[in-house]
Structure 1
Amino acid sequence: MLDPRLLRAFVGILDTGSFTRAAEQLHLTQSTISQQLARLEETVGHALIDREARPISATASGERLQGYARRILTLQQEAQAALGDPAGLTAIRIGLAEDIFDGPMAALFREFAQGRREIRMDVTSGLSRDLTRRYRDGEFDIAVVKEPAPSADARASFPEPMAWLEAMDADRDWPDPMPLVVFSPGGLYRDQMFERIERERRRWYVAFSSSSLPNILVAVEAGFGITLLPVATTPGRRVKTYAPFGIEPPIAVSIYSWEQTGPVKELVDWMSAMLGLRASGTNAIIQG
């Protein structure tokens, strides 16, 4: 490995054409510059400077090494600058139920991060049960999940109205057995759907299953069957409430965090305010 200190002495001699001026430029003694060049020449096994030339110039081997030396020194400076810059070194790990991470939430994260270059948002979206388990295992600093009722350590919780949905152009009752569009096993609304159908004494089968909310909505729009989803997911989608089942009791949207001070606490406050507005808007949709 080539020592950057030795390369710096070598380049300094070439740039100034003098051992003396190179020593002055690097704030070293002339003897130190000479020793560093000698060590570099010993390392590479070639003479690098023609000491007899006036002004001093590189030998053929020195000319070959010169370009590499300059690039190595430039990369070293860039690495030192990068390590000295705190940008993105402090991660806030966030787990979000899939439909919570939308455009407004992404904009909130961007605004929060502005002026805090040291912070990096590590966001994971997925199914609430899995996110809750991972939060309890310490994988996330903040988690926003859907659950039947908030736990005692929730920082805040908001009701999220639920509705049964079918395609906008559905103009007939569904056959027996009734086709369902559901989340993959482990999805929060899946068991709730099955329980309601059983209470209605309707036979059913799973016509479409996915772990992706957009896929669920597209399948309902295409007429695969009916589903149960938060009302907040429906604006702009070609779906309507399935009147025979209508509205379900709301589910809780809860936010959790381990830390109660510093940037994490501040971000939780921001997110809680947005979730409160989101809940108010959803209630307005229901009332409208």
Structure 2
Amino acid sequence: MTFGFDLDLLRTFVAVVDSGGFTRAAERVHLTQSTVSLQIKKLETNIGQTLLLRDRSTGGVRMTESGELLLSYARRLLLTAEEASEAMRRPSAPKTVRLGVPEDFAGRRLIGLLSGFSAASPHLRLDTISGWSAELRRLLDGGEIDLALIKREPGDGACLASWTEEVIWVEGAARAVEADPVPLAVFPVGCIYRDRAIRALERSGRRWRIAYTSQGLMGVQAAVASGLGISLLPSDAVLPEHRVLSAAQGFEPQPSSELALVKGQSKLSAEARALGAFLIDSLAP
């Protein structure tokens, strides 16, 4: 014969054992003594075993061998039930915040940010989407992301915060490349560094050609290091394998660009505001 355990009966049983008697157990579980006695009798009837014996010398109770065996299971069942109840009281899923980041955002820098946010806000889930500035703005306008870090020209619209980014001409350190026309290693159309490089060369009257294109920062960095082309990169993306070019080589210094934290038109949730505050604090010089 099989039967299920009634958690209320098990709770009363454990209370009687822990308190040493029916009277004190009744106080603990907020029942009358007679109700406690009836519940213990019902539990014994259900399992077909005597669990407790009255100790006439002390006025308390003592467990039988069956009672001792059941006690350990009863404690585990009650603990599991409490854990399940607590889990059901929690939200079914963490609140999600969606962040757009530039394709050329340095990987190590992003890893540091994500690790810091995870430690500071373990109750939040962070989803990141990478893209170029135009794409990130479209996602913001469509409400598909909450916040975005965008590379742009300084002062190009409202933002929650902004940081200056120095940009530098670089070529491979191992060997100089033929610079007529200037071979460019660049990101796809829509990237501020690509636009800046082309406009600067055209203003100086120099010819140029696209020698290499990559969606990711690592690809452009590698192309420059291997001598495939020249590029205009943020200073934190310059590698030891790169050589900085100056006006002496015909590459005039360029004004700084800007990394801006922007939001869409809708009101930010408390979770998105928390992410924004974290980014503002973490990206400060």
TM-score range relative to shorter protein: 0.5 to 0.7
With over 3 angstroms needed to count, the CA separation of the structure-2 counterparts of 1:203 and 1:256, relative to structure 1, is closer
TM-score of the two chains, using structure 2 as the length reference: 0.63
Alignment of 1:222-261 (within 5 A): 222-234=226-238, 237-242=240-245, 243-257=249-263
1:171 is paired with a residue whose SS is coil
Counterpart selection for 1:209 from 196, 211, 214: 214
Whole-Å separation in 2 of the counterparts to 1:156 and 1:193: 22
Corresponding residue to 1:33 among 24, 32, 36: 36
Q: Which residue does the alignment assign to 1:164?
A: 169
Which structure: larger Rg? 2
SS of the aligned residue for 2:207 comes to coil
**Contact persistence 2:100–2:131 (CA under 8 A):** no
Deviations 1:149-205 (A, max 9, x none): 655442344553333322223234368793x5444x576247527855994433333
- Matched AA of 2:48: A
Per-residue CA deviations over 1:198-251 (Å, capped at 9, x if unaligned) read: 944333332x6343x3454344334443333222332x6432234444544543
1:19 aligns with 2:22: yes
- Distance in 1 between residues matched to 2:143 and 2:6, nearest whole Å: 42
How far is 1:146 from its partner? 1.1
Q: In 2, distance between residues paired with 1:3 and 1:223?
A: 76
Closer, same or farther in 2 for the Cα pair 1:56/1:135, shift >3 Å? Answer: farther
Identity, % of aligned pairs? Answer: 28
Distance 2:182 2:251 in 1: 16
Aligned 1:119-134 pairs, distance under 5 A: 120=124, 122=126, 124=128, 126-129=130-133, 130-134=135-139
User: Does structure 2 retain, via aligned residues, the 8 Å contact 1:127–1:188?
Assistant: no
Q: What corresponds to 2:191 in structure 1?
A: 188
Q: Equivalents in 2 of 1:2, 1:182: separation in Å?
A: 69
Counterpart amino acid of 2:130?
G
Offset from partner CA, 1:244-283 (integer Å, 9 cap, x none): 44544543322224658978668746755775x64xxxxx
Between the aligned partners of 1:171 and 1:142, the Cα distance in structure 2 is 41
User: How has the CA–CA distance of structure 1 residues 196 and 103 changed in structure 2, closer, same or farther, with 3 Å as cutoff?
Assistant: closer
Matched-pair contact (CA < 8 Å) for 1:90–1:118? no
Paired with 1:216 and 1:107, the residues of 2 have a C-alpha distance of 23
Please, what TM-score do these two structures have when normalized by structure 1? 0.63
- Decide whether aligned partners of structure 1 residues 107 and 96 sit closer, same or farther in structure 2, where only a CA change above 3 A counts: closer
Q: Is the 8 A contact 1:158 1:254 kept in 2?
A: yes
Structure 2 unaligned residues grouped into runs of 5+: 56-60
State the partner residue of 2:51.
Answer: 50
Q: How many residues align?
A: 266
Q: Taking structure 1 as reference, are residues 6 and 204 closer, same or farther at Cα in structure 2, changes over 3 Å only?
A: same
State the secondary structure of the residue aligned to 1:99.
Answer: coil
RMSD of aligned residue pairs (Cα, Å): 4.9
Structure 1 counterpart of 2:51, one-letter code: D
